[in-house]
Structure 1
Amino acid sequence: MRFALLAIAAALLLSIAGCGQDRAAPAEPASTSPATAPSAAQADAPAATAVPAAGVPDDAAPAGRTEGPAEPDDHAAVNARIDNVLGDHAPYERAVLAFRAAVQAGDRAAVAAMVAYPFTAHLDRGEVRIADAAAFVARYDDIVTPAIARAIGDQRYADLFVNQRGVMFGNGEAWINGVCADGNCANPDVRVVAIQPAQ
């Protein structure tokens, strides 16, 4: 009887120890243009952040989940990181949520209104300079491909990657950052600064 109870307890401990290990490791983000599309590997991580061999900090969880129950999309840790690295998280949080919602809805005009211009679009066949929102809307399907839209739309806030170059969606498919409107960048305008295919 005692042996049977010990065997059951051991089996339960083994099954508990295996929980949470079904998440796929994040791929290294793409970086087709270092000036506008930084990768996590280029980040100057703070000394307190351990960076695994793949070049992605431990706090950069994968954008997609493989299976299992849905976790709450807690904003607190990401907001604290934004506060620490980029400044007040409030405009970044608003921009991230609005951008994700606009992409999910396929609202081309709303997405275009969030972009910093002039904008360099990173297309599969090369880079294209986009002067304004009207030009962005005209090239929307080339810029926001189904794969990019999926990466942005599926992004959980709690899994966003943040460094001094902005807030990253997915594996680098989109970046949001503050654009300086004045000389000292006291009140940056938070905009979409990169949209690109992941590699």
Structure 2
Amino acid sequence: MRALILTAATVALLAACKPVPPSELPAPAAPDAPAAPAAPVVDPPAVPPAVASPEAPAADPAPTPPTNDAGRAQVNQSIEEVLGDPALYEPAILAFQKAVAAHDAAAVARMADYPFNATLAGKPTKIQDAAAFVAAYDRIVTPAIAKVVTEQKYAELAVSGKGVMFGNGEAWINGICQDKDCKRVDVRVVALQSGEPAAAH
């Protein structure tokens, strides 16, 4: 009886281990084919910066305003023809504008020619010296006059025998002779007024 049971167990074991048909076995690798190398591990590529496509070129930068050198040269030529050396006038004009923009009463007073023609409370007034000019500065260089002086473009200055005019005549600069033959000239602010015709020197 025991032999029969063992024989049955052996038969069951042998049945579980029955061979796999050749058609179900995996195909062997070709002996001459080298194994494929493992794919290398690499970091993801960096995203390149945006570049305009050839079809759509990048927009040009905003244009800078022109300096109008031709206009400046024309003003200096007019100064030379009518008044004298523009190398004396241009620095004085620019210094005057800078001083007015800074509300530097003392600096503007130093540039004035005395007695100085001003308009106070609508009346032509002569300011006798720099101290009086500084004391009355805000009535002489009113906000309206200061605006004209500081916003005046050099290339648009008007030049005549009366001097260099700002705006519609709110300010005038002219050369003051320092000797009998007028060989030495001091460029000064000769009038500040509310745009009426200047009584420039």
Q: TM above 0.5, one fold? A: yes
The one-letter code sitting in structure 1 at the alignment partner of 2:156 is: D
Say whether 1:109 aligns with 2:103.
no
Q: Which residue of 2 aligns with 1:147?
A: 144
Greater relative CO, 1 or 2 (CA 8 Å, sep 6+): 1
CA RMSD of aligned residues (A): 1.6
Say whether 1:72 aligns with 2:76.
no
Q: How far off its partner does 1:124 sit?
A: 3.5
| Aligned partner (choices 176, 194, 200) of residue 197 of structure 1 | 194
Q: Which residue of 1 aligns with 2:162?
A: 165
Deviations 1:14-72 (A, max 9, x none): xxxxxxxxxxxxxxxxxxxxxxxxxxxxxxxxxxxxxxxxxxxxxxxxxxxxxxx8441
CA contact (8 A) 1:73 1:157 kept: no
Question: How far apart, CA to CA, are the structure 1 residues paired with 2:124 and 2:159?
Answer: 25
Question: How far apart, CA to CA, are the structure 2 residues paired with 1:144 and 1:192?
Answer: 12
Superposition TM-score, scaled by structure 2 size: 0.62
Larger radius of gyration: 2
Say whether 1:174 aligns with 2:171.
yes
Superposition TM-score, scaled by structure 1 size: 0.63
Structure 2 runs not aligned, ≥5 long = 1-63, 197-201
> Which 4+ stretches in 1 moved above 4 angstroms?
none
Q: Which residue of 2 aligns with 1:22?
A: none
Question: How far apart, CA to CA, are the structure 2 residues paired with 1:109 and 1:151?
Answer: 19
Residues 1-199 of structure 1 mapped to structure 2, 5 A cutoff? 70-74=65-69, 75-199=72-196
Question: How far apart, CA to CA, are the structure 2 residues paired with 1:132 and 1:175?
Answer: 18
Q: How far off its partner does 1:186 sit?
A: 1.1
Question: How far apart, CA to CA, are the structure 2 residues paired with 1:162 and 1:119?
Answer: 20
Structure 1 runs not aligned, ≥5 long = 1-68
Aligned length, in residue pairs:
132
Q: Secondary structure at 2:112's aligned position in 1?
A: coil
Identity %: 57
